[in-house]
A and B are shown apart, each in its own frame.
Chain A
């Protein structure tokens, strides 16, 4: 079974600095999708960034980028120029390509941004 591990329950970063959130996963599949979701206090999960396993190039979305290491089964999220609005819970998630509903989430990392 696929599992997703986020080893950092909490992280903090100074405003305008860079922070990296870690995620590892376990799977026997060769093709799959990886996601980072942001969950602010409003509880609504917001997709931050998505990576397709067959693509070697790391995904980027403005200030958000990932470091995808397929062999190491690692998928970290880097937030550059951190802003106060980035403060939230961040969840890493895995999904197979053949089963759209089988999404597995990690336990989350709470990010605090200090002014």
Chain B
């Protein structure tokens, strides 16, 4: 497919468990973003990758959240010791990063709905 894909579509877990959420960006997109969207809210920025490195992780709420992008393509968002408050839709987006252009459009995936019981 040509768009951003995310797996799983839905994830139900128990409090205290570890979860991994996967994002496949659009081929060739060097920038990748993770957002969290709580019920009734707009997406909130979590972390941004430029290539393999996390260029900005200021949105991660605490050290239970971690994300990797080892080969500069697929990214995994990891949440340790999940809490009920982590329940949300986790959105991934990707974009080109063209030098001199500040309006690189972010293309979003369908998200993963995480439910922590």
Contact A50 B103 (CB under 8 A): yes
In angstroms, Cα B104 to Cα A33, docked, is: 10
| Contact status A101-B56, CB under 8 Å | yes
**Using an 8 Å CB-CB cutoff, how does the interface string of B59-96 with A read, 1 for contact, 0 for none?**
00000000000000000000000000000010101010
Selected from B45, B89, B102, the residue in CB contact (under 8 A) with A103 is B45
Set B93, B102, B111: member contacting A33, Cβ < 8 A: B102
Q: Point out the residues of chain A lying under 8 angstroms from B43, CB to CB.
A: 45, 91, 103, 105
With both beta carbons as reference points, the residue of chain B lying nearest to A47 in the complex is identified as B105
Partner of B31, one of A37, A52, A101: A101
How many pairs of A and B residues are in contact by the CB < 8 Å rule?
60
* Interface size class, chain A: 20 to 34
Give the most central of A33, A43, A100: most B CB within 10 Å: A100
Q: Which of B97, B106, B111 has the most CB of A within 10 A?
A: B106
Does A113 count as interface, using CB distance less than 8 angstroms? Answer: no
With contacts A44-B111, A100-B31 taken as known, whether A107 is within 8 angstroms of B41 at the C-beta atoms is: yes
Known: A100-B97, A107-B40. A45 touches B108 (CB 8 A): yes
Q: Give the residue of B31, B33, B41, B56 whose beta carbon is less than 8 angstroms from that of A108.
A: B41
Q: Tell whether A13 is near chain B: CB-to-CB under 8 Å.
A: no
Q: How far is the CB of A37 from chain B (nearest CB, A)?
A: 8
B89 partner residues in chain A, CB cutoff 8 A: 43
By Cβ-Cβ distance, the 7 closest A-B pairs, closest first, are A105-B42, A101-B48, A45-B108, A97-B102, A43-B111, A44-B110, A91-B42
| New A-B pairs, 5, CB < 8 Å, besides A37-B108, A97-B103, A103-B43 | A43-B89, A100-B104, A101-B48, A103-B45, A108-B42
Q: Show 10 A/B contacts (Cβ-Cβ < 8 Å), sorted by A.
A: A44-B3, A44-B109, A45-B43, A46-B108, A52-B103, A100-B48, A100-B97, A100-B104, A107-B40, A108-B40
